[in-house]
Amino acid sequence: MRNDKKMLALMALCFIFISCVRPLETPTLPPVGETPEIDPYAKQRKWMVDSQIRARGVTDEAVLEVMEKVPRHEFVLEKYLSQAYADHPLPIGYGQTISQPYIVALMTELLEIKRGDKVLEIGTGSGYQAAVLAELTDEVYTIEIIGELAQSAEARLRRLGYTKVKVKHADGYYGWEEYAPFDAIIVTCAPDHVPRPLLEQLKDGGRMVIPIGPPGGYQTLWQFIRKGEKVVANNMGGVRFVPMTGEH
């Protein structure tokens, strides 16, 4: 009898213990095909923005956010992947380069882009600057004089989801009259004078950012703002870009 009581007491204790222990939760797995991807370059982009761009005085939060978002490593040659977020330009083939991150951010800030603006880029290159612009507005037009670069940049932009960017293989000196006038024009190669067609395709109140100077010589980055028939010029300091080519 005594043993039966002990057995009953032991069973009661076990029941209390079991009722107090929460069952193990079965981990919830994402559906097939929806496994979250970890961006291995996210920290590098943040470091790039904080140390190279924000630290040098770029303050437009929209531009800073975009620079931290656009995957720059997708726009460089594979052999330069380790330098994708470094503080200097990189070769992209055909004698062209992808600009230094700070310069991309500075020129973008000087364009003063608002959502809905129509923007023209001269010198598509690998497509990086166009992708940055496409994060700020839906109407981006870009011209590249080297056919192979125009073709590869267009394919890259499409693959990365920038499907609204219009790419044209042509001499950018003459702009893109079909879609003019533009709220903003950015030139990522250096002519030795201001291209008149580009000024004429700039909307009243529009901004153009362009480096000007002789090939291999001192170049100056300019911001031009059109005000009616007048153009206000702001000198933004010395830079170095590949020269604008073409038969102009």
More confident residue, 124 or 2: 124
CB 161 within 8 A of CB 137: no
Per residue in 96-133, pLDDT (tens digit) is 999 999 999 999 999 999 999 999 999 999 999 999 99
- H or E element that contains 98: strand 96-98
Residue 15 lies in a domain: no
**pLDDT for res 66:** 98
- Please tell me which residue in 19, 51, 82, 99 is annotated as part of the active site: 99
* Average pLDDT of the segment spanning 79-95: 96
Q: What one-character-per-residue DSSP string does 172-191 give?
A: GGG--GGG--EEEEEE-SB-
Residue 4 lies in a domain: no
| Cα separation values, 178 from 74, 130, 182, Å | 30, 19, 11
Q: Starting at the edge strand that comes first in sequence, how are the strands of the sheet with 139-144 ordered?
A: 166-169, 139-144, 118-122, 182-187, 202-212, 219-227, 230-239
**pLDDT for res 224:** 98
pLDDT of 36 over the 90 cut: no
Residue 100 lies in a domain: yes
Domain interval for residue 195: 42-239
Residue 230 lies in a domain: yes
Residue 1 lies in a domain: no
CATH number at residue 103: 3.40.50.150
**DSSP state, residue 45:** H
Residue 105 lies in a domain: yes
Query: CB neighbours (10 Å) of residue 75?
Result: 23
What is the tally of structural domains in the chain?
A: 1
Residue 137 lies in a domain: yes
**pLDDT for res 247:** 80
Task: Decide the pairing of beta strands 182-187 and 202-212.
Answer: parallel
Query: Vertex 220, ends 216 and 221: CA angle to 5°?
Result: 120
99 flagged as catalytic? yes
Query: CB neighbours (10 Å) of residue 202?
Result: 23
Q: What are phi and psi of 219, to 5 degrees?
A: -120, 150
* Average pLDDT of the segment spanning 229-241: 94
Residue 246 lies in a domain: no
